[in-house]
Amino acid sequence: MTKWTPRHEAPEPLEGNVVATITGGTVIWFVLFLVQLPFYGWFDDHGHLWWLWTCLAGGGLGLIGVWYVRKRDAAIRRAAAESAPTH
């Protein structure tokens, strides 16, 4: 069996507004949690309570993600400023 090797170079990674993307996803998780909260009893009666807690966990992990990508973005900008030529 031979090892697979790519036939072309890998493309550069896409860099978008990562902070906005993660923040938007985090807001969606929290909104989903809040929308489902009034139906707590129904979820509990039907064994679907994990849906509620999944949304809350997604929002909580999203907050960690927002913190992480903000630090990452600041580090990238700091590194770019340090490597920029000075006149």
HEC letters along 36-80: HHHHHHHHHHCCCHHHHHHHHHHHHHHHHHHHHHHHHHHHHHHHH
pTM: 0.76
First to last CA, the chain: 56
pLDDT, one tens digit per residue, over 18-61 is 999 999 999 999 999 999 999 999 999 999 999 999 999 999 99
d(CA 87, CA 82): 13
Q: Could you give the angle at the alpha carbon of 69 between the alpha carbons of 84 and 13, nearest 5°?
A: 65
Residue 1 pLDDT greater than 70, yes or no: no
Structure tokens at 2: 């031979």
